[in-house]
Chains A and B, each alone.
Chain A
Amino acid sequence: MKKKLVAAAIVLLVLCIGMVWAQDSADPFAANRKKGSQSIEISPGGFLPLFVLDSNFAMISTPNMSPGAAFSVLYRYMLGKNLGVGGSIAGSFVTTVGGRTLFLAPVCVSSTWVFGTDPMEFDISAEIGMNVMRLSGNGIISPIAKLGGGISRYISESWSIGGKLMWWFVPELHLGSYANLNSYASFLEFSIGAQYLF
């Protein structure tokens, strides 16, 4: 009988603690997944060149690029529980076998599908925009598309940390008689990030 009372007291205590905990800390996952929720994410990471296609969509056997680094800032506005829209700016670079450095600086609009269960959050996002590239004093502005996903964990009501993978598709388009110079490159951005939610 005494043991049952002690057990009941422990269960009650746990339940009480749980209720107090629940009152003191609202579920950040639910709190940040509603219309009007906003977030800013900062993600530094690495940048891998994958492959380059020429104007005939044949793979260029020697892309001649080495891994580099990337940095991105993403703003997101939730339209509902799962869907968010926003924009991103990023900067990245890779080095070449000839000792040059290729810089890419895309500005994109984004849409994100968010899902998961507290405290983990998953997202799949797609971005399109314009990309400024510079190589040894020469510049190109091209369209860009990004596709990827990430995983993050809430560490407080306002902050979550995580990582993401983004595939960058970078078509380099030339006009008129220079259309034969068209090429299509792809890169993989892998990064860790911190997200502030408000």
Chain B
Amino acid sequence: MNIFGYSIKLDKTLATGRAKQKNAALSRKGSDIAGLYAALALTLLVLFAGCDNSFSIFKSISQETKQVGVDLFKNVTVRAMANDAANYYALLGQVVWRPIDGSASWNVLSVNGSTDYFAAGLASDGAKVYVAKANSNNVLVDVYKTIDSGATWTAMNAAASIGSSAAVDWLKCANGTLFVAFHASGTYSLYYYDGAAFKSAGIANISRPLIDIVWDGSEYWAISDSAAYHGSAGAMTEDTAPALAQGLIGLATDSAGRVLISRSDGLVYSLQSGAWTQITIKASTKLGPLFLLTQPAATKTIMVGKGIATYGYYEYDETGTGSLKENGSNYISTSSSVYLSTMLSKHVIGFWQPSNDANILYVMLAAGGTDSYALYKNIFDPTANAGAGAWSGWTAE
């Protein structure tokens, strides 16, 4: 009996232990299942949060067009463009050109009798074309001018004025005047060509790099990445209103008194009739280069590059209260599919229109490593869309 009694007691103890283990196991199982459900819910939440009901994947793909451009523009950066009456020019490591009438394809431009050079800058006023040549250390060799589409060149003896150790950052023509931004000994300066020699524009030995210069119809405006300057060619002074330390990125004008400056905080500063106003393009979002689109005339559109990792550009329609368009959705300059297959992941270097044709728009891109093109063209057809006009969408050059 004792044996049986002991046995029964042991059985009860074991049964109690098993029940506790079972309860613990059930508790663990319940906890595991709850964790699994939570993980599943979180996964679904993340997946659904990444969905866009307004974006059609297969429709977007079906609207794509195959882009076949010139190999010269594949995996490169187009840094500037220019034109004269006969040709378009684009600045890569060298200057390439093609006839405006399309009678020949892009080719390397021979500058002063040579195609073996490094070009640090390119500019034109619509008639004259300027190319800054540099040596292998990016030090200025000279600025060359042609008035006959590259048939003959004139050396402008720029190094004598600018200095023999200067590195050219960019050339730009504004209001028919050639400007040269350069750096030397860690400081940055802006010079202009007065018809006989290069002279200081009034911005000399500043600590931050210069970005761009425009003519607003009555005076010049230039920006460094931290401050804005304005005035006549030889006497530009700082304007503190839009200043932002290392935060100024783009400059544009309508050449009729309005100046726009894009910043790294998502704001565009707009100057009109002597007063600055702010336009929030996208709050707390770094912007890029600016361009004022004049077509269609019924809309007021600011095109501004993205300074964020996805790159590409925004279109901001100033009509009414203003609206931001991004990722090609409702763009007036292209369709969503064309935008996504041409611009995405490429840094916009700038927008450019020929001096003699407001119905052509180019976008210059940094396409290195994308196995895609760096220069795209868009053509405005004034007769399309029942006379309202429409842009064709980007096509690889």
Contact = CB atoms under 8 A, between A and B. Distances in A.
Contact of A176 (B53, B59, B60, B341): B53
Contact of A140 (B55, B67, B340): B55
A81 B377 CA distance: 64
A185 B372 CA distance: 27
A197 B341 CA distance: 45
A181 B372 CA distance: 29
Contacts of A134: 50
B54 interface: yes
Interface in B339-387: 340-342, 344, 371-372
B179 to A, nearest CB: 37
Nearest to B64: A98
Residue from A54, A62, A133, A138 with most neighbouring chain B CB atoms (10 Å)? A138
Interface string B295-321: 000000000000000100000000000
A65 B59 CA distance: 12
Nearest to B370: A99
B273 interface: no
Contacts of A139: 47, 50-52
B348 to A, nearest CB: 17
Given A97-B66, A178-B53, A178-B54, A102 B344 contact: no
Contacts of B57: 102, 133, 135, 138, 140, 172, 183
Interface centre among B340, B342, B371 (most CB of A within 10 A): B340
Contacts of A135: 57, 60-61, 340
A174 interface: yes
A175 interface: yes
Interface string A162-187: 00000000001011101001010100
B279 to A, nearest CB: 26
Given A96-B64, A96-B341, A97-B66, A60 B47 contact: no
B65 A97 contact: yes
Interface in B34-57: 47-48, 50-57
Contact of B55 (A52, A96, A98, A138): A138
Interface string A131-147: 01111111111000000
A181 B337 CA distance: 14
A68 to B, nearest CB: 13
A96 B61 contact: yes
Interface string A49-63: 000101000001011
A186 to B, nearest CB: 11
B58 interface: yes
A139 B45 CA distance: 13
Interface string B57-83: 111111011110000000000000000
A136 B50 CA distance: 12
A100 B341 contact: yes
A60 B52 contact: no
A64 interface: yes
B340 A100 contact: yes
A98 B56 contact: no
A183 B58 contact: yes
B65 A172 contact: no
B64 A97 contact: yes
A172 B56 contact: yes
Nearest to B373: A99
A115 to B, nearest CB: 35
Given A98-B66, A178-B53, A54 B371 contact: no
Contacts of A183: 56-59
Interface string B15-51: 0000000000000000000000000000000011011
Given A139-B51, A141-B47, A141-B48, A98 B59 contact: no
B63 to A, nearest CB: 8
A63 B341 contact: no
A163 to B, nearest CB: 28
Contact of A98 (B50, B58, B341): B341
Given A132-B47, A136-B344, A181 B65 contact: no
A141 B46 CA distance: 11
A109 B375 CA distance: 47
B290 to A, nearest CB: 24
A100 B61 contact: yes
Contact of A137 (B66, B337, B344, B372): B344
Contacts of A136: 340-341, 344
Nearest to A179: B53
Contacts of B337: 98
A60 B340 CA distance: 20
A102 B56 contact: no
B51 A62 contact: no
B394 to A, nearest CB: 11
Contacts of B51: 139-141
A80 B61 CA distance: 44
Q: Which are the 5 A-B pairs with shortest beta-carbon distances?
A: A98-B341, A98-B64, A181-B56, A139-B50, A183-B58
Given A63-B62, A181-B54, 8 more contacts: A52-B61, A98-B337, A100-B64, A100-B340, A137-B310, A140-B55, A175-B53, A183-B57
Interface of A: 52, 54, 60, 62-65, 96-100, 102, 132-141, 172, 174-176, 178, 181, 183, 185
16 contacts: A52-B61, A52-B62, A62-B62, A64-B61, A97-B65, A97-B66, A98-B66, A98-B342, A99-B341, A136-B341, A138-B57, A138-B60, A178-B56, A181-B55, A181-B56, A181-B59
